Amino acid sequence: MTTASAILPARGLADHLTAVFWRHPRVLLALLLTPPLLWLGVVYLGSLAALLLQSFYSIDEFSGVVKEEFTLKTYGELLRPSNFDILVRTVTMAALVTLACAILAFPIAYYAARYAKGHWKAAFYLGVMLPLWSSYLVKVYAWKLILAKEGILGWAAERTHTSWIIDGLLSIPGLEGSSLSTSPIGTFAVFVYIWLPYMILPMQAALERVPNSMLEASADLGATRAQTLRTVILPLALPGVIAGSIFTFSLTLGDYIIPQIIGNSANFIGMAVYQLQGTAGNIPLAAAFAVVPIAIMLIYLAIARRMGAFDAL
Amino acid sequence: MKRLRLMGTATLALLTGLSPALAQVTEIGAPEGQVNIVAWPGYIERGETDKAFDWVTKFEAASGCKVNVKTANTSDEMVALMNEGGFDLVTASGDASLRLVAGDRVQPINTDLIPSWSTVDDRLKDAPWHTVEGVHYGVPYMWGPNVLMYNTEVFKEPPTSWNVVFEEMNLPDGKSNKGRVQAYDGPIHVADAAQYLMFHKPELKITSPYELNEDQYKAALDLLRQQRALVSRYWHDAFIQMDDFKNEGVVASGSWPFQVNLLKSEGLPIASTIPQEGATGWADTTMMHVDAANPNCSYLWMEHSLASNLQADLSVWFGANPAVPAACTDGRGMATAESCTANGLDDFDKIRFWTTPVSKCSQGDGACVPYYRWVSDYIGVIGGR
């Protein structure tokens, strides 16, 4: 009479490996986690660290050579009027774009989340997503043509004798330009158009999660529609609004293509970084500029957290 | 980082006048079968964009060297690619060529191995952007001016001065030039302003628009601030500029023959001129990597670049001027005396070619404003400071 072993004989390398993983689950965990952690730690955070490091170097005034000594001089240069202008201009634009996107997106998202059904819902998704499928550059160039002096908008205004509206807008101090496409108004309009879907989609997701029962309860308790909107819907949809605003705000902060094509050529942070790191070789200042949006976003996220934007996560 | 070090080395080498004497090729052996070239877009055409423009396939058939092209959009990209290695040749502009020489990225060229060297424009043979202390580091390829492009419906006569883009004035059609002129959206435009001052304010004693001391530099910036009030949008992309001439009512701007020729070919009322103050310009050179893996094919290509239809057809294609003047007239390609004149061939003496401003210049060590300040200050000017 033979007795079989309780443990089956190993049939090869794979069985051995399985046994090792079974006996030491931490080995498997380490193996699975190492590549993504390496990616995050070395490639992603490493490059960020290099960027930070560079921003503490400075450029030698005479030779234009980067001095590899720690100093805050480069950050001090950010406060020079011409550089500070760039920061103020970019942050103002990002804030205005975010605000406009939120105001425009809310009714659209609300309709889509609460009223659109069946085919209409599909049409809505398609309508919001469609612009995202076509090239970003094509859209910006198309807007350049729409806003140009001899473009569709100018032509239509002339035919309808409403050119005075455009001329009036373009004579507001700070917004001057020979046409909408060379004025900050044009840059603003194109930013809003390009980033709007990023605001609508998270907003709609948040609005869909607002339970109907709460709205009914609100109505039962005698709240008017405006009161329901203010005290029930808006607070519950706030995380979506904040999520969307993170997109629109950070995307505007970093973009350098739209203000190059539309607008009066005044620099935004991205454009300044692009120019400074090139032939100029002023990597420290470029890095310092690049740190600003990161800092602003960190502050923004901290405020957003306070407001409860991440409670649903 | 590598590039920064290189730039540091470049500056240092320029300061001390170093020119490392490197071994050069003494004879051309058997072709290796391929040659890898870093080039500007549109510089090396094999008939794929437009059938009529092909200066590669014949070379490949005759020499047995397959031509592999990597296009680069900026001089910095070119320098970076050459630093990485793996390429044999590069079509470097004046702002990249000296950096490549100083960084030991390119090797001296033995002109005896290039039979057509003698046909190169005498004015380019010893040009300072590829010749360091008598050693040639490349073969001239193409050059072109930054012309004044204008709308012929507004200017019945060609404008004679760059003042149409620098000073507020009424144009011949009676309306102000405010919002109707453009300027280049690159710090090198400071040189255009300096060249204008060189002519109109001799008391500043500017000798070269790329070598400006503090006072001269300040005057140039003041002129640019004045220009800011006239310019609605600065141009950096050739096609956006063309669009602005079509749709934005822009009637005059510094530009390249490339845009002028394209707009003309579309039948628009556009022409160009080089005003009395002269113009800035660019000149490119084919340079060979210090560790080129395919030196024989490289030399064959350099000879081909001078001797074939390349010079003539590229001149027409790109709106540039051949480094071999004979290419305009000997019928080897599409270029004619007229087309070369249109591209500015006769204006060589009026052109001051692009070089990177460094602090050490003919006015003394550290006397001139270096390029990185041009960049930050030009950003300020465009931002209204």
β strands within A65-189, DSSP E: 66-67
Between A195 and A11, the higher pLDDT residue: A195
The 10s digit of each residue's pLDDT in A2-20 is 566 677 777 888 888 888 8
User: What is the C-alpha to C-alpha distance for residues B327 and B309, in angstroms, rounded to an integer?
Assistant: 8
Choose the CATH number for B145-280+356-382 among 3.40.190.10, 3.20.20.60, 3.90.230.10, 2.60.130.10: 3.40.190.10
| Alpha helices, H only, A209-311 | 212-220, 225-228, 234-254, 258-261, 269-276, 283-306
Q: What is the pLDDT of residue B1?
A: 38
Mapping DSSP onto H, E and C, the string for B96-116 reads HHHHHHHCCCECCCCHHHCHH
Query: Nearest-CA residue of chain A relative to B371?
Result: A280
Question: Which residues of chain B lie closer than 8 angstroms to A272, CB-CB?
Answer: 379
Class of domain B2-143+282-346: alpha beta
Q: CB–CB of B212/B204 below 8 Å?
A: no
User: What is the C-alpha to C-alpha distance for residues B78 and A234, in angstroms, rounded to an integer?
Assistant: 53
Question: What rounded mean pLDDT belongs to chain A?
Answer: 87
Q: What is the pLDDT of residue B72?
A: 81
Segments forming the whole domain that contains residue A289: 81-134+191-306
Count Cα atoms within 13 angstroms, Cβ side, for B211.
Answer: 14
The 10s digit of each residue's pLDDT in B30-58 is 899 999 999 988 889 898 878 888 999 99
Count Cα atoms within 13 angstroms, Cβ side, for A306.
Answer: 6
- Residue contact A281–B3, C-beta within 8 A: yes
Residue A282 counted as domain residue: yes
Question: Which residues of chain B lie closer than 8 angstroms to A285, CB-CB?
Answer: 376
Between A306 and B277, the higher pLDDT residue: B277
Query: Nearest-CA residue of chain A relative to B366?
Result: A62
Dihedral over Cα of A38, A40, A43, A47: its sign? negative
Confidence of residue A292 (pLDDT cuts 50, 70, 90): very high
Q: What is the pLDDT of residue B108?
A: 94
Q: What is the pLDDT of residue A313?
A: 54
- Domain of A106: which CATH number? 1.10.3720.10
Residue A167 counted as domain residue: no
Kindly provide the ipTM of the predicted complex, given to two decimals: 0.74
Work out how many domains chain A is built from and give that number: 1
Q: Which of A55, A63, A190 to mutate to test the interface with B (most CBs of B within 10 A)?
A: A63
The 10s digit of each residue's pLDDT in B262-283 is 898 899 999 999 999 999 998 9
pTM score, whole prediction: 0.77
User: What is the C-alpha to C-alpha distance for residues A227 and A208, in angstroms, rounded to an integer?
Assistant: 19
The 10s digit of each residue's pLDDT in A181-192 is 899 999 999 999
φ, ψ of residue A66 to 5 degrees: the values are: -75, 130
Confidence of residue A288 (pLDDT cuts 50, 70, 90): very high
The 10s digit of each residue's pLDDT in A205-259 is 999 888 889 989 999 999 999 999 998 898 888 888 888 999 999 999 999 999 9
Q: Which of A68, A147, A183, A279 to mutate to test the interface with B (most CBs of B within 10 A)?
A: A279
Where along chain B do the CATH 3.40.190.10 domains lie? 2-143+282-346, 145-280+356-382
Question: Considering only CB atoms, which residues of chain B are within 8 Å of chain A?
Answer: 3-4, 7-8, 11, 74-76, 95, 178-180, 185, 187, 231-234, 236-237, 240, 243, 246-249, 356, 358-359, 366, 370-377, 379-380, 382-385
Residue A202 counted as domain residue: yes
A222: left (phi over 0), alpha (psi -120 to 50) or beta: left
Q: What is the pLDDT of residue A176?
A: 82
Chain pair A-B, CB pairs under 8 angstroms: 128
Residues near B117 by beta carbon (within 8 Å), at least 6 away in sequence: B111, B125, B139, B306
C-alpha closest to that of A259 among A100, A99, A89: A89
Q: What is the pLDDT of residue B19?
A: 40
Please state the rounded mean pLDDT for residues A25-36. Answer: 90
Burial of B338 (C-beta count, 10 Å sphere; 0-12/13-18/19+): exposed
β strands within A142-207, DSSP E: none
Q: CB–CB of B45/B78 below 8 Å?
A: no
Local mean pLDDT, 10-residue blocks, chain B (385 residues)? 42 42 72 92 86 92 93 78 88 84 88 92 89 91 92 95 95 92 90 95 93 94 95 87 92 90 90 91 93 93 92 88 91 88 85 84 85 86 88
Q: What is the pLDDT of residue B2?
A: 40
Residue A4 counted as domain residue: no
User: What is the C-alpha to C-alpha distance for residues B292 and B299, in angstroms, rounded to an integer?
Assistant: 11
Question: Which of A65, A145, A266 is opposite residue B247, by nearest beta carbon?
Answer: A145
Question: Which of B8, B375, B385 is opposite residue A275, by nearest beta carbon?
Answer: B375
Confidence of residue A100 (pLDDT cuts 50, 70, 90): very high
C-alpha closest to that of A268 among A91, A21, A147, A144: A91
Confidence of residue A64 (pLDDT cuts 50, 70, 90): low
Residue A130 counted as domain residue: yes
Q: CB–CB of A289/A79 below 8 Å?
A: no
Please state the rounded mean pLDDT for residues A189-204. Answer: 94
Rounded to a whole number, what is the distance in Å from the CA of A185 to chain B's nearest CA? 13
Q: Locate B287 and state its tokens.
A: 């340079």
C-alpha closest to that of B317 among B46, B112, B60: B46
- Residue contact A149–B249, C-beta within 8 A: yes
Residue A174 counted as domain residue: no
User: What is the C-alpha to C-alpha distance for residues B217 and B219, in angstroms, rounded to an integer?
Assistant: 5
Q: What is the pLDDT of residue A63?
A: 57
Q: What is the pLDDT of residue B342?
A: 81
Q: What is the pLDDT of residue B4?
A: 42
Question: Which residues of chain B lie closer than 8 angstroms to A163, CB-CB?
Answer: none
